[in-house]
Chain A
């Protein structure tokens, strides 16, 4: 009879700030793991994790300029999964929400489940959560489209200007090789965004370059400027671009009729 422990994986988020956005449960899983893999964007956060569990391994040594991030993410996934296969209780801690714009977390969970072993992701506080709080934008107000800058440019998506646009990784907009580790290659991408957005919004429409505070010493970076200035802005790798809504669209009379309603009725209910 084998008494070998079965490996397992719990993926947690450490939030955008250095310490205070980690949930109690995330902390407890970090503490109780045999090994903790870290994909965290600051050393204070790493330090907090190391205090909870000294047996930590970083994942960032796998990044290399010129190497495709697709390969890096595969290697990160393999590193995490190998530890689970070896029978360890593994915790993988990523900054922000571990499932928001993070390839290896989803990849590792999928593989571990395929092995018939336990894998779970716990939610964390993402950059979008900070954005909602700092900019006072409720995604429900106008609806919201939230997407990766380059993917949007490369594919035939439809943008709805009545919804708030949240554009992630704007500092890498249009960067196809996945091999750069800085935000110096987005000029052509920004130009294309400006062109696309100018067809749907007035040139003076105010847009926002946003960076949640990553250290508690200072507040968020919130730069507001007119759309026609977009190509002059200087995003970093942690910038997110926000294009506020043009306002609510008109009522859809056909759908209201199908529901047995009129616009006046709905407006009446809303104002009650």
Chain B
């Protein structure tokens, strides 16, 4: 490894750097400029990301404390009276739970159907394009469409209906259902790609043992692609946690969880609330709440949550690379 000029252990081996410089000298000026620009852009992005993280960390750690995390938010003119962010945390987790519970089976089912059956072919194409459209649609457009749906009398049970028959249309059920569309494309895409990359002979090994398509899916294909489904799900959860538009329009963005009926549990699902995103939105200096310290704290918690989900994705990926396959 060490070149003749190196002075001993611990010294930077100059060989590699010299080789690199020597290589660069052979390059044409335009290439050099291109490489330099790429380096610059890369560094700039790193600086932006680091600044963001440091700033959020600095602001967040300043205001985050245990008390804040476990006490409920209160309306108040003064920041010291606005309480904690318990409800938005619970709201965020609840929305992630509802939306994932809906999106996961739909996305995996759609991917299985398209890859393993794919018939009729035109319908498979239509479904695929439909999911692509959803993936590309701005969430505010999805949100306003969702609101129109959940205000239909048909969905009166999902939120609460006024005596006159008007349906409020905003609830955990409504927001969670619509939010599932945000997570669905990434779960669908990772599952579909994983299924497509399962070699033909693995399926045929199962069919060759006299197994039905369904047994093959359940016992061979799903276990094979489980890490990819997990990756897509974690990515989708990150997108859910980060979305604001659907929450503002469909969850009501009320400071506290407000039950929509007296039925225990179900009432909460029929009721309104907020998530960390809508909490930040409402309490940032532009919002009506004007409690920027709380907004920073909530944004910091949200970032931690999303970084956590991303670490989970990386972890799953590494486990897979290590061939530590599910049993």
Partners in one complex: no
